[in-house]
Structure 1
C-alpha cells in the first residue's frame, strides 16, 4: 500500500486549499448572515446566493465534480486521490456543495451512473452533474427500526405500465431544498420474496402528485436550512415502470453499491472537520489564561491535544486504506474497512470536537464559534448510512468468520 499522493492530487490539493482560504473561510459569517436574513424575510428555505456565487467560481477554476472515481463524468480521480480533497472541503460543513461534491447528491449520482438507464441519466444525472438540481435518498422510516433495511414497509406496487408508491419516510436529507427534483425511493415490490430480494429502488420526481414534505426535522435544534432533513409521505404516487433501478428485488444490491462510497466520503470530510476543531482548540488554548498559566500550558490540555492528533492520524490512515482497497479490489472486498472507518471516524470527530468545545468554555456551546454545530454534524453521522451498532456487528461477524 502506497498512500503518498500523486502529483495530480497534490496539485488539486493546493488549488482546493487556496480556494477554501480565499473564498470559503472568509464567507462563513456571510453564510450565517444570509440564512438569518432569509429567515427574517420568511424565505428560510431559499437557496443561498452566496453558495451559488461560489459554485460559479469553483467551476471556473475546474474544481467541480471531483468525485465519481469509476466514471469519465467526474475528474478521473480514484477514491484514494479524492480523499484529501474531501478532507479539505470537510473543514466547513457546507463547503462540499460549492464543488458539487455534497451528500446526498454524490451518492445519488453514483447510483444513477452505475444502475440507471440512458433515459435516467439524461433526465436526472446530467442536471445533477451540472448543479442545476439537487436530489434526496428516501429510505429511513419512522415506524420501523430502519437500521435493519428488511424492515422497510413502504410499498412499490406494479400497476400496468406504472408503479404505485406508498410510504412514510423521515430524515430525508436534502428534501427541504426547493431545488430537490428527484428522490431515490426504497420500498418493497414483493413482500413474499426472500428477505433480501423484497426491496427495490425507484426514481420519483419531487413534483409527482402524492409526494409531500411534512416537516423539517431539527438536529440538536439546527434545521440545516435550506438543505434540511425532512419527514415525508408518498401517497399513491404513480411513476412510469421505466423508473425502476436495475429491476425488482435488487434494492439491497444497489444499496451496497451506493453506500460504500457515500460512507467513506462522510469519513473523509469528518477528518477535515476534526482537523479544524483541533486548530481552533490550539489557537484558543494559546490565547487564554486560567489560574496564572495559558490553557495551552495546562497538562490536561496538552494531553488532549496529543490524543486528538493521534486519533486524527489513525482515522486518516484507515480511511486511506479503505479507499485504496475500494480502488484496487472493489467495494465488496473493502466492506470490512468501510465498516470500520464508518465506526471510527464519527467517534473520533465527536471526541476531538468535544475537547475543543471544552477549551472554549461557555463559548464552545454557543454559535459564536462553529464547534457546537460541528458536534451535531459528527454525532448525526453515527446514525447516517447505518448506526455504529450495525457496522460493529458486521465487523465482528467477519472477524469471527476467520476462526470458524
Structure 2
C-alpha cells in the first residue's frame, strides 16, 4: 500500500498572492525576504526544486536538475490562517471566511462567563507575548484569565499555570469553543504560561480547539481503513476528524523526531505533520534570524530523511500561509506557498496551482480512492 508523508512548514510563504493587497499584504515574501536578509542556504530543499520555485533557474546545488516536482499554490479560500489553509489542503475550500473581531461581542462573552464562572481581562487584538507581559501581573492578582485575538479568526485565552491549572484552562477553552461556533470563530487557543512579572514565558502546553471541518479527504482515507497519523497541531486543526492516530508536539524538533519515527516504522498510510515554530516563534515575533536558523535545522533533518524514502513513496512539502518576519505588524501574510512533490522518480514543473485542494485530489489518487470533488491532482 501507499506510504505518504505530507509536511506543512507553518507560514513559509513564497511571495504575495495576487489578492494580497485586499489583505494589506502587498509585497510580502516570507522566504524571499529571509534569504535576502540572512543569506540562508537550504541545500536539501534546493535539491528538490526550491530554487525553481523562487525563480532561480538552474539554482540547484552543483547545477543538477531538481529531484522532485515543484510549483506554487494559491489559496482559493478567503483568509490567511492555519485552519483555513489546512482545511483547503485537505480538500475543504471555504466560500465564506471565518469571522474576525476587534472585540468579541457582549453576547459571546456573557455566554462564556456564565458557563465558566469567570470574568476575563483584555478582549482586544494583541501580540500574545505583549499582552501577557501587560496583564500578567493583574491576572495573577485577580485570577481572571487573559482573553485576546489577532487579525486571524482566533479567540485566545492565556492563564498562568499556577493560577489556573492547564486542565482547567483547557476546560474553559472547550466551553468557549462551544459558544464560538455560533459566531463562526475558527479557533479557540489555550495559552498557558509561567514565570513572574517581567519574565513570563509561554509553555509548550498550548492547545487549539477548532471548529469541526466539513468532510475532508482525511475522512475518505481513514474510512477506507488507511491510517492517518497526525503530528503536531494537525489533530487540533481538524478537531480530530479523519485522524486515526495523533502525536502532539511542543516544538519543531519534537515534530521532526515524531515524523521520522513514524516514517521508519510504518509501511502504509498518511503521516501528516505541521511544524509550527516557524509561525509562532519566529514569524509572529518578527525574528528573521531565528526563522532562518529553524529553516536550516529543518533542511538538515530533511537531508537525513530523503535517503529513507522509496521511489513508490509520496512525499509532499508545502505551507499553509505566509508570516513574513520582515513585514509590518505581527500577523500572517496572504502569500502563495511552495509545493514540492517527491514520487516515482518524477521531476519537473507543476506550475502555479489554483488552490491548495490539489493536494487532497492527489492524495485520493495515491490511495486509490474515488476522485476528490475539489482540486486537480498533480500525480
TM-score (norm 2): 0.26
Structure with bigger helix share is 1
TM-score (norm 1): 0.25
Is the radius of gyration larger for structure 1 or structure 2? 1
Structure with bigger strand share is 2
Work out which structure has the larger RCO, using CA pairs closer than 8 Å and 6 or more positions apart in sequence: 2
